[in-house]
Amino acid sequence: AQKVTQAQTEISVVEKEDVTLDCVYETRDTTYYLFWYKQPPSGELVFLIRRNSFDEQNEISGRYSWNFQKSTSSFNFTITASQVVDSAVYFCALRTNFGNEKLTFGTGTRLTIIP
Amino acid sequence: DTGVSQNPRHKITKRGQNVTFRCDPISEHNRLYWYRQTLGQGPEFLTYFQNEAQLEKSRLLSDRFSAERPKGSFSTLEIQRTEQGDSAMYLCASSPAGGETQYFGPGTRLLVL
């Protein structure tokens, strides 16, 4: 069985602060993919980043960075110098290999950036 | 490239009525997915197509739900005899062959009165 846990229900930070969103996953598969999606008030899920289980290298893409640690089954996501437009619900998702196409989502973290 | 489109964006219906939603995937994406999202929750997988073949169905997809993708392009999701518990956002996503990332449409928000 697969499970994704986002323990932070809501986070509020002042604009320009850095913020980290936590994600913990469970799977017995050795090959899997992890994702972060953003859902603004309009409702559309916007793809942000993807990581596969073989690559634990952490990267930075613009204001986004992520910390993938297999030892703790965590895939945390950081926004640097937050902006009001970053306000949204953020979802972490897991997809395993071997023909299983579905994404398993966490319950989301509502991020509010205070101007 | 245009993104995934869904119609209608909003639907209000009375309990017991049938409703049908349409999803047009990104051009040349051969995989298409349906998810359901209730308030305060993450999306939950309903079903998946590769071209016109429906390859996977969730237990959430009761007998009242049916999905089709007749020509391997657009897809429809029909709910028969709607119930108040069917009220949710219905999301469609697509991905290319061999691609791991699913790209989502804007969703259809259903309210059953």
Which residue is closest to A97 within chain B, CA to CA?
B100
Q: How many CB pairs under 8 A join A and B?
A: 56
Contact flag B42-A46 (C-beta cutoff 8 Å): no
* Chain A residues lying within 8 Å of B48, measured CB to CB: 101-102
pLDDT tens digits, A32-91: 999 999 999 888 999 999 998 888 777 778 999 999 999 999 999 999 999 999 999 999
Contact flag A102-B103 (C-beta cutoff 8 Å): no
pLDDT of residue B44: 96
Averaged pLDDT for residues B73-89: 96
Contact flag B44-A52 (C-beta cutoff 8 Å): no
Taking the C-alpha atoms of residue B85 and residue A51, their distance in angstroms, rounded to an integer, is 35
B31 → closest Cβ in A47, A93, A101: A101
pLDDT above 60 (res B111): yes
Taking the C-alpha atoms of residue B92 and residue B68, their distance in angstroms, rounded to an integer, is 13
Handedness of CA A12, A16, A18, A23 (dihedral sign): positive
Give the mean pLDDT of chain B: 94
pLDDT of residue B8: 97
pLDDT tens digits, A10-35: 999 999 999 999 999 999 888 899 99
Contact flag A43-B56 (C-beta cutoff 8 Å): no
* Chain B residues lying within 8 Å of A42, measured CB to CB: 106
pLDDT of residue B63: 92
pLDDT above 90 (res A1): no
pLDDT of residue A79: 96
Q: Are B47 and B54 in contact (CB under 8 A)?
A: yes
In DSSP notation, A29-69 reads: -SSEEEEEEEE-TT---EEEEEEETT-----EETTEEEEEE
- Estimate to the nearest angstrom the gap between the alpha carbon of A53 and the chain centroid: 15
